[in-house]
Structure 1
């Protein structure tokens, strides 16, 4: 048995996935998310805030303790590109090396290429969806950016692109009032539409048959649409969000104050203030899809880049076990 872990540190949250692999099957042992808002204010200052770094250190320390308890032998951590661009980035990377080194010497956070990120995200998101519904377009809506990946069920990526719009970025740059003003909403929608024009040019959106929504904005909207009383990943994963109902829901979410959103039991307190920005992005994405295809809904996936990373680590463990022992 091999136990491996994936950590994804984005603009808004840091997440952990631990799985066990027996050579044939992968079993999920632990999945967790914490809002740390690592990218808070980076647009304005060019630096990771000390408080944000401390929140991230505390969360990652907790994750490493869980890995040690679960006897994890290998780990891979990916981080948002904002960490690479921040003036004090070395403080962040040194901190991750110190902590992850307790699991595997030399491990530290890495900023991967857009191509690798697309392949990992796509593989994770569609792994247990109905493969006959491909080609898929996976949309991973994060805090600072949103990735669009079109590919075949076998994992072949036909096209991908990352645009610098996410729920935190849109909120901090444009939708600063609470609730946002009509002018802010209009400016945000124009910004989203402008970003999506690049997606339409680069990614073969029209070739996709099924559109898959990943990450916190999409999964939270699914929980709200279903009227869940608690956040239930099993109910959310594989659920369908129809565009007509989604248009109504996103308008309602955008119109609410963050304090009102925070009262919903399925909305994480750390997501309440940026969910309006995320919902605005979803509205724009729906418009783009309807312009290019006959699709009428999203399929929501609770799986994403972390599941792709785990799959790669499990394959690596198989290869390592088959290598000849140099001491034999």
Structure 2
């Protein structure tokens, strides 16, 4: 991967939302992401989730057809400058992996399912780059399946939350036949108020100076209010205007009758649910006025990607934060990182590992002991659990799953059935990274600043590795014994690990 992006080079993001899929293509212009092309299709993936959260075939086919059309626009964008993220619908789908496997046959890169708080962080990043920076702001994004709330200053979020309420999900729950009544609308508002009660106190105590909304629901409501003369002089959404809009909406008895000027046909079906959620947000959080921003998740994804090229990778800050939170031994982590990098450099070409694999190994090496904060016994399992289930800024669920497996398998016995688990999650590349991390940790068992013996790792082929130790191995009896024990573990994962020395080994 390049270490930098020059002006005029392209970036792209695909945002697979619960209501709509979006494609944005942009060029980098003096450090700013300038959009040059975009596509958006209302897929309504969340509408395809049944009561058991299984995504039906029709919704899957809508999504795959849309992705096929998007791919046709990506020929000029290198794959390392593309990110594809999925949000609440695929977070919820019990058979999401089935859809992802089908999509993998179409897409040039894997889909990243991002957690709710990570979605919120990226939304804030997108919004904050499209507005004048100033006072503390509250950003609200109403999606198809979830709604994100972020308080931040300039480009940094302070609080991030994701609540399980969205315009598609609430349309299914409260307006399934398209009928509109005050009773049903109020039920949707009450449900949204209940969701908001989980965060209201903390958010009100933190406070904000301005409120900004993004997403199609807020855009549609604002557009209607402007056309009706019910916005303020800055064309912001006001609570007074929302109350008037609610009264006008309730004059219709069915969504097919809704005829607000400028409202797109594909937005009509989810307007009552979206308005009910927005109405509850204004009410519970005491909002009087809300500005609109075109910045959204896809813009945030591209700015986050740009940061990775500029060595401003949020993932590395998150790793350092986790080490601090769990009081990991920084000196030992850096020893293991250094050794892991040497092993990776020896093996990456033969094993077909790339720079992203190296980054994953490095981050796992920094985090491999965080489970010690819970207990020494089985700390690799505790660390794996923390990595699997924590909200870690910058990481997709797949990234966290990979890190979790690396930490889970960095010590103790390897079972052959766990090999199959790792292969299922990350293929043979993740298997190789697990074994490289094991060797790096083992070579640093002494936890000493004393120099390690010189070593070289030669990968003869995928199933035959040779570690050569330089010098008199009699100086390292415990290390040699540990390596000989490790040969047995490697065998369980179908790797023949040979231990050699340029001097005689007894």
TM-score normalised to structure 1 length: 0.84
In the alignment, is the contact (CA less than 8 A) between 1:158 and 1:204 conserved in 2? Answer: no
Counterparts of 1:173 and 1:220, CA distance in 2: 21
Counterparts of 2:55 and 2:142, CA distance in 1: 21
Cα gap change, 1:51/1:319 in structure 2, threshold over 3 Å: closer, same or farther? Answer: same
Cα gap change, 1:119/1:277 in structure 2, threshold over 3 Å: closer, same or farther? Answer: same
Which residue pairs with 1:235 in the alignment? none
- Per the TM alignment, residue 309 of structure 1 is displaced from its structure 2 partner at its CA by 0.7
1:210 aligned to 2:210?
Answer: yes
- Per the TM alignment, residue 31 of structure 1 is displaced from its structure 2 partner at its CA by 2.0
Counterparts of 2:202 and 2:101, CA distance in 1: 36
Counterparts of 1:110 and 1:71, CA distance in 2: 18
In the alignment, is the contact (CA less than 8 A) between 2:171 and 2:270 conserved in 1? Answer: yes
- Per the TM alignment, residue 124 of structure 1 is displaced from its structure 2 partner at its CA by 0.7
Which residue pairs with 1:192 in the alignment? 192
- Per the TM alignment, residue 41 of structure 1 is displaced from its structure 2 partner at its CA by 4.0
Counterparts of 1:189 and 1:129, CA distance in 2: 30
| Residue pairs, 1:286-325, within 5 angstroms | 286-290=282-286, 295-319=287-311
In the alignment, is the contact (CA less than 8 A) between 1:5 and 1:72 conserved in 2? Answer: no
- Per the TM alignment, residue 12 of structure 1 is displaced from its structure 2 partner at its CA by 1.1
- Per the TM alignment, residue 260 of structure 1 is displaced from its structure 2 partner at its CA by 2.6
Cα gap change, 1:43/1:198 in structure 2, threshold over 3 Å: closer, same or farther? Answer: farther
In the alignment, is the contact (CA less than 8 A) between 1:137 and 1:205 conserved in 2? Answer: no
Counterparts of 2:309 and 2:235, CA distance in 1: 33
In the alignment, is the contact (CA less than 8 A) between 1:148 and 1:161 conserved in 2? Answer: yes
| Residue pairs, 1:1-328, within 5 angstroms | 1-22=8-29, 24-68=31-75, 70-73=76-79, 74-101=81-108, 107-132=109-134, 134-153=135-154, 155-204=155-204, 207-227=207-227, 239-256=235-252, 257-261=254-258, 263-264=259-260, 266-290=262-286, 295-319=287-311
* Structure 1, unaligned runs of 5 or more: 102-106, 229-237, 321-325
In the alignment, is the contact (CA less than 8 A) between 2:48 and 2:58 conserved in 1? Answer: no
If asked which structure has higher relative contact order (CA below 8 Å, sep 6+), I would say 1
Q: Secondary structure at the match of 1:180?
A: coil
Which residue pairs with 1:232 in the alignment? none
Cα gap change, 1:271/1:150 in structure 2, threshold over 3 Å: closer, same or farther? Answer: same
In the alignment, is the contact (CA less than 8 A) between 2:87 and 2:115 conserved in 1? Answer: no
Which residue pairs with 2:319 in the alignment? none
TM-score normalised to structure 2 length: 0.56
In the alignment, is the contact (CA less than 8 A) between 2:47 and 2:59 conserved in 1? Answer: yes
Cα gap change, 1:51/1:182 in structure 2, threshold over 3 Å: closer, same or farther? Answer: same
In the alignment, is the contact (CA less than 8 A) between 2:48 and 2:59 conserved in 1? Answer: no
Counterparts of 1:309 and 1:32, CA distance in 2: 16
**Aligned Cα RMSD in Å?**
2.4
Cα gap change, 1:269/1:199 in structure 2, threshold over 3 Å: closer, same or farther? Answer: same
- Higher mean C-alpha deviation, range 246-255 or range 295-304: 246-255
- Per the TM alignment, residue 176 of structure 1 is displaced from its structure 2 partner at its CA by 3.0
Q: Secondary structure at the match of 1:118?
A: helix
In the alignment, is the contact (CA less than 8 A) between 1:189 and 1:280 conserved in 2? Answer: yes
- Per the TM alignment, residue 318 of structure 1 is displaced from its structure 2 partner at its CA by 4.1
Cα gap change, 1:183/1:94 in structure 2, threshold over 3 Å: closer, same or farther? Answer: same
Counterparts of 1:314 and 1:112, CA distance in 2: 18
Cα gap change, 1:194/1:55 in structure 2, threshold over 3 Å: closer, same or farther? Answer: same
Counterparts of 1:28 and 1:205, CA distance in 2: 37
Counterparts of 1:201 and 1:112, CA distance in 2: 26
Cα gap change, 1:100/1:192 in structure 2, threshold over 3 Å: closer, same or farther? Answer: same
In the alignment, is the contact (CA less than 8 A) between 1:161 and 1:203 conserved in 2? Answer: no
- Per the TM alignment, residue 116 of structure 1 is displaced from its structure 2 partner at its CA by 2.2
* Structure 2, unaligned runs of 5 or more: 1-7, 229-233, 313-344, 350-506
Which residue pairs with 2:483 in the alignment? none
In the alignment, is the contact (CA less than 8 A) between 1:179 and 1:255 conserved in 2? Answer: no
Cα gap change, 1:30/1:225 in structure 2, threshold over 3 Å: closer, same or farther? Answer: same
Cα gap change, 1:48/1:206 in structure 2, threshold over 3 Å: closer, same or farther? Answer: same
Cα gap change, 1:213/1:198 in structure 2, threshold over 3 Å: closer, same or farther? Answer: same
